[in-house]
Amino acid sequence: MPRSSDRIARHLMEGSGGDAEIRRRSIVILRPRFNSEGKLPMTVKLRENSTHSLNPQLVTSVTSADETEDVMIMQDSMQRISVINGEDGEVEFVVDDEKPILLNILEETNMDGVRHLSSENKTTRYLWSIVLLSFGTLAFIQIYTQILMYYTTPVATNIEAEYPPQIIFPTVAICNNNQYRLTYLTGPRLQNRRPNKHKKLKSVDMNSTNVFDRALQNNWDIDAVKFLRNAAHWKSRMIMRCTWPNGTACRVTDFKAVWTLTGLCWAINTDPYNPAYITGSGPGHGLQLLLNIEKYERVESCTPKFRTTSLPGLKILIYNQTDIPVSSLDGVNVPPGYSMDIPFRMQHRQKFPGQNCIAETDTHREATKDFNNPHNIRTCAIRQYLKEIEARCGCSLRRAYDPNPNGKRSKSIWCSCLDL
């Protein structure tokens, strides 16, 4: 604060001389402070190393007001100060600053280190000179780099704003975190079934009395897709109520089975040729669902075959009709006992063809009708996952995605591994 007030005072009282040598002239008018004993004014002198701050230093010698006329103080280490008596006991101090004008200008800026350049200590002057030059050079280098980057790598963004009267509502899939119903695994349909005797499962103890091991022993030879679909939650029990964005009630038959690598999900609005449309945003234009999580069907056994590792709840997947979800883990988790609104913002991103991006041509769009077509880029990720599963486990789940797959497939549920 003292330095700031001094600067303001100097700006208000700044003058200019007519000499050939450029100087700064400061005039300070002070009312003298009297000594408590002799009621005499005190003489003030300013040192050169504190020129920018008018901080007076008291002198031991004191003179009377009558003896103090025009006094000129000239020393090498001090500034020139003229003391002139004024009317009503006022004393006028005229200070001539003989430092270079460039140094004065720098001191008036916010570069606080500049004031050390006029220090009497040479080490201080040299050190601060090096610091200021170093950081000044780095600042110019950074400015030059940014300007060069601006001209060498220009970025142009084309934004097209479109406000259609209605937009396509996305596909909404419901996935239960528990993929195996307890009543199905422990029911008589699986527990009392007689399998073929010519093959046994190596990973299951044939003498085990565990109900889950018995379910594997008695059903190892049935179709894997059929088993997983019957073991999953039924949509008629899980979906209690459904309302379309336009207010009409949707039916349970509107939900279609959608397979992911983490289990079976039930999706609505899956037809890319006849999707549902909405005319606005907000809760009033959303899909309303009342769902039953069926916590009583959760398998909490210690067996590694059917043990559920996730908490009770649902996963809600939102995606385009032309996409195929890979995993239900990418969805929004909905715990039991809560009423939840899931807002989302639809964005369409179109990438330009490049090293890691393939442009979808008419041939690729035609190939979307065939799941196993190598030109079907929408099913490429799923096909690669299934290929790895077939190589490791010796069985296939392609029929879950393609009703009429080509090639050999095993009807064994677990084959050589049990974690499909």
Residues 6+ positions from 93 with CB-CB distance below 8 Å: 27, 28, 29, 30, 44, 81, 82, 83
Distance CA 232, CA 236 (A): 12
The string over 308-320, giving b where at least 16 C-beta atoms fall within 10 Å of a residue's C-beta and e elsewhere, is beeebbbbbbbbe
Write down the mean pLDDT value for the chain.
Answer: 71
Task: Indicate the class that CATH gives domain 167-181+232-346.
Answer: mainly beta
* Residue ranges per structural domain of the chain: 112-154, 167-181+232-346
| Chain segment 23-70, per-residue pLDDT in tens | 444 444 555 544 444 444 444 444 443 444 444 443 334 344 444 444
**CA 220 to chain centroid:** 47
Closest CA to 113 of 90, 95, 129, 92: 129
Closest CA to 53 of 72, 82, 31, 79: 79
Distance CA 367, CA 372 (A): 9
Distance CA 251, CA 284 (A): 19
Number of helices (H) and strands (E), helices first, in the chain?
11, 16
Confidence category of residue 209, pLDDT binned at 50, 70, 90: low
User: What are the residues facing 295 on neighbouring strands?
Assistant: none
How many other β-carbons are positioned within 10 Å of the β-carbon of residue 239?
21
Start-end of H helices in 205-344: 211-218, 224-231, 235-238
Exposure on the CB side of residue 303, measured as CA atoms within 13 A = 21
| Chain segment 356-376, per-residue pLDDT in tens | 666 677 777 777 777 777 778
| Chain segment 245-276, per-residue pLDDT in tens | 888 999 999 999 888 888 889 999 998 889 99
> How far is the CA of 203 from the CAs of 64, 119, 184, 406, 407, in angstroms?
113, 86, 22, 29, 27
Spatial contact of 114 and 57, defined as CB atoms under 8 Å apart: no
Which pLDDT belongs to residue 143?
Answer: 95
Which pLDDT belongs to residue 324?
Answer: 82
Residue scoring higher pLDDT (21 or 111) = 111
Spatial contact of 262 and 327, defined as CB atoms under 8 Å apart: yes
Sheet holding 80-85: strands in order across? Answer: 14-16, 24-30, 91-97, 80-85, 71-73
Distance CA 212, CA 302 (A): 10
Spatial contact of 350 and 216, defined as CB atoms under 8 Å apart: no
Average pLDDT over residues 223-229: 79
Does 401 score more than 80 pLDDT? no
**CA 103 to chain centroid:** 46
Maximum average pLDDT range among 98-112, 165-179, 202-216, 354-368: 165-179
> How far is the CA of 301 from the CAs of 63, 185, 304, 308, 391, in angstroms?
103, 12, 8, 8, 30
Distance CA 172, CA 245 (A): 12
Confidence category of residue 317, pLDDT binned at 50, 70, 90: very high
The three-point CA angle 107-109-113 to 5° equals 55
- The residue with tokens 């005190």 is 42
